[in-house]
Amino acid sequence: MIRITTLNGGTMTRQKFVENLLKRADVKTAARGEAFAPANIALCKYWGKRDAELNLPVNSSLSISLGKLGTRTVVKFAKSADRIFLNGKHAPKAFAARLSAYLDLFRADGQFFEVRTKNNIPTAAGLASSASGFAALIKALDQLMGWGFNPRELSMLARLGSGSATRSLYDGFAIWNAGQRADGMDSYAEPLDAPWDSLRVGILEVSKARKKTGSTEGMNRTRETSELYEAWPAQADCDYDELRTAIVAQDFPMLGKTAENNALAMHATMMAAWPPLCYWKPQSVSLMHKVWAAREEGLELYFTMDAGPNLKLLFLQENQAAVKKLFPKVQVVIPFSS
Ligand code: PMV
């Protein structure tokens, strides 16, 4: 049986949300703003919106940022239209339209922007470049407009661009409190101050191709049609608590097991949606089997996956050589390198 539910109707528009925040801000414009934000990988995933207008999530999530992998963005004022560049070229239409629609939330009448954004990770291949993209953009815009928002406020504004961007304001571990308020003012991210020097993330790229179903459409379809989605919020809450405990205790097996199980549970909810949603490619599945086989042999290795075919491995420094031997193409990220 296919279950159809509808999203809770929010009461506030995103424009109103921004207006409310801007009331608290200064306006002392500069000639340019420039900022970097790291990509982040969720260990407890955000999957499902309780309010689609304000990007308010059903559940809290927890992520690790990818250090130097992310987005650098420069913003200036432009004369008669927005000019949007991605990796040194005019941005594709859909990308430029999404950024301009986001900029609409902040522009005064007749105000336009030039945005130059560069990713050092593949765009939209499930490597969370929209997260670092919107976080870098709002930080750069804050400098250009001279608002002086704090990271918590910036995280709420990044949230309006892409939910996972909420967590990309910080290095290291970040938590995004789902919040309960209808106005979204308690749905922001904060850092978890728990450096873990030996932790490693390994990126196994299966495909650079742009995904067919974006995460908003994927989440909405899952929430509206998947029987399994009913179980998701409780599992996410439990995983979120366990991950926090694992991080504080630096208990790596607990972190790895919880993160991998959380990702697989999220993908199970998607596959039970209708039409079914499967972001995996055959190669993703064979890589998963390789991880499981290595673990059976005693290697402490886990993975997580987002709305795309790529795997992100989780392991400790002491096992880096063994992981590289098994997966020669792995790109190793050291999240806590300075
Ligand atoms: O930020 P969005 O709307 O692209 O959604 C991100 C969804 C996941 O990457 C699958 C999970 C997460 O928490 O990042």
CA distances from 115 to 102, 110, 146, 166 (A): 12, 16, 17, 20
Choice among 20-34, 111-125, 130-144, 203-217 with the minimum mean pLDDT = 111-125
- Burial of 212 (C-beta count, 10 Å sphere; 0-12/13-18/19+): exposed
Atom 9 (ligand 1): residue with closest C-alpha? 306
| Residue to mutate, 41, 43, 44, 46, ligand 1, most ligand atoms under 8 Å from C-beta | 46
Same domain for 174 and 49: yes
- Work out the pLDDT band at 212, boundaries 50, 70, 90: confident
- Is residue 28 situated within a structural domain? yes
pLDDT at 56 > cutoff 60? yes
- Which whole number is the average pLDDT over 154-158? 98
pLDDT at 214 > cutoff 70? yes
**Residue 263's domain is classified under what CATH number?**
3.30.70.890
**Residue 181's domain is classified under what CATH number?**
3.30.230.10
- Which whole number is the average pLDDT over 91-107? 96
283 CB less than 6 Å from ligand 1? Answer: no
pLDDT value of position 127: 59
Same domain for 138 and 57: yes
When the pLDDT of each residue in the chain is averaged and rounded to a whole number, the result is 93
Same domain for 295 and 150: no
pLDDT at 1 > cutoff 50? no
Same domain for 139 and 24: yes
Cα-to-centroid distance, 185 and ligand 1 (Å)? 20
Q: Which of 191, 211, 232 is the last residue of a domain?
A: 191
- Which whole number is the average pLDDT over 129-150? 96
Atom 8 (ligand 1): residue with closest C-alpha? 306
pLDDT at 37 > cutoff 50? yes
- Is residue 123 situated within a structural domain? yes
- Work out the pLDDT band at 26, boundaries 50, 70, 90: confident
Choice among 8-22, 27-41, 163-177 with the minimum mean pLDDT = 8-22
- Is residue 249 situated within a structural domain? yes
Choice among 121-135, 207-221, 251-265 with the minimum mean pLDDT = 121-135
Tokens read off for 171 = 């290095």
- Is residue 6 situated within a structural domain? no
Strand partners, 95: none
User: What are the two backbone dihedrals, phi and then psi, of residue 17, each rounded to the nearest 5 degrees?
Assistant: -60, -45
Cα-to-centroid distance, 164 and ligand 1 (Å)? 5
Query: Of 6 and 114, which is predicted with more confidence?
Result: 114
Same domain for 171 and 36: yes
pLDDT at 136 > cutoff 70? yes
pLDDT at 75 > cutoff 90? yes
Choice among 119-128, 148-157, 278-287 with the minimum mean pLDDT = 119-128
Same domain for 61 and 133: yes
pLDDT value of position 9: 56
Same domain for 43 and 113: yes
pLDDT value of position 34: 98
- Is residue 338 situated within a structural domain? no
Same domain for 161 and 258: no
Q: How many domains does the chain have?
A: 2
255 CB less than 6 Å from ligand 1? Answer: no
Cα-to-centroid distance, 27 and ligand 1 (Å)? 32
SS (HEC) of the chain: CCCCCCCCCCCCCHHHHHHHHHCCCCCCCCCEEEEEEEEEEEEECCCCEEECCCCEECCCEEEEEEEEEEEEEEEEEECCCCEEEECCEECCHHHHHHHHHHHHCCCCCCCEEEEEEEECCCCCCCCCHHHHHHHHHHHHHHHHHCCCCCHHHHHHHHHHHCHHHHHHHCCCEEEECCCCCCCCCCCCEEEECCCCCCEEEEEECCCCCCCCCCHHHHHHHHHHHCHHHHHHHHHHHHHHHHHHHHHHHCCHHHHHHHHHHHHHHHHHHHHCCCCCCCCCCHHHHHHHHHHHHHHHCCCCCEEECCCCCCEEEEEEHHHHHHHHHHCCCCEEECCCCC
- Is residue 128 situated within a structural domain? yes
- Is residue 2 situated within a structural domain? no
Q: Percent of the chain scored above 70 by pLDDT?
A: 95
Same domain for 139 and 270: no
Range of the domain at 311: 199-333
Same domain for 226 and 327: yes
Q: Which of 170, 191, 212 is the last residue of a domain?
A: 191
Same domain for 134 and 60: yes
Same domain for 208 and 184: no
CA nearest to 71, candidates 126, 111, 128, 33: 128
Q: Which of 191, 217, 239 is the last residue of a domain?
A: 191
CA distances from 103 to 136, 222, 337 (A): 13, 29, 33
- 228-249: pLDDT as tens digits: 999 999 999 999 999 999 999 9
- Is residue 159 situated within a structural domain? yes
pLDDT at 3 > cutoff 50? no
